[in-house]
A = this chain, B = another copy of it.
């Protein structure tokens, strides 16, 4: 008999849009469904919520179970509940979005997924249910968030160059930026800690930086606004 802790809420699920960035493209992590219906189709990682499990916890658990990912930036996105979104019965899904340092992570599908793979946001496969709508909503949210909160760093390796950072912003926001102005602005915020230089690149080595989260947190309390 199932323990109480493994009872699921029948009409509720969680789905996550996981973004990664590989220095040139924004990507989304999808899993190949291993169970009917829709077996074999690529979809957002998602599953049911347990009756004694908080929503955020459920989202994290599902992510871990299906993709192996742990300890990533996650934020509740929106709740999608169209009556017809799931064909068999009514399922309302609380969607989350997650940001992953793509280099740190090699997809490892869990037991309920037969595969897990990064897809460029511009070349997504056909997706079941309303998953494409959820991804589009997440992308819209990401574009907004990245401008006003320093969450872009969640998509970069711990140590990154200013060019990588600029490239990230340009890709997500789909604009071109002036290199000097971008650097002035970022450096002016005093939230980056300069580190050593790159090595082994076939051009002048760039300085590496890391994001000073502690400083940001304390500035934020004093009303500082991150904005690019």
Interface of A toward B, CB cutoff 8 Å: 9-12, 49, 51-55, 76, 78-79, 81-83, 90, 92, 94
Contact B79 A79 (CB under 8 A): yes
**Contact A52:B83 (CB < 8 A) given known A76-B78, A78-B76:** yes
Residues from chain B with a CB closer than 8 A to the CB of A12 are 11-12, 92
Residue among A51, A52, A76, A90 having the largest count of chain B Cβ atoms under 10 Å? A90
Contacts of A90 in B (CB 8 A): 9, 51-52
User: How far, in whole Å, are A76 and B78 apart by their CA atoms in the complex?
Assistant: 8
Residues of B within 8 A of A81 (CB): 49, 54-55, 94
* 20 further contact pairs, Cβ within 8 A, besides A51-B83, A54-B81, A54-B83: A9-B11, A9-B90, A9-B92, A11-B11, A11-B12, A11-B51, A12-B12, A12-B92, A49-B92, A51-B90, A52-B83, A53-B83, A54-B82, A55-B82, A55-B92, A76-B79, A79-B79, A79-B94, A81-B94, A92-B94
Most buried by B among A12, A52, A54, A79: A79
What residue in chain B is nearest A144 (Cβ atoms)?
Answer: B148
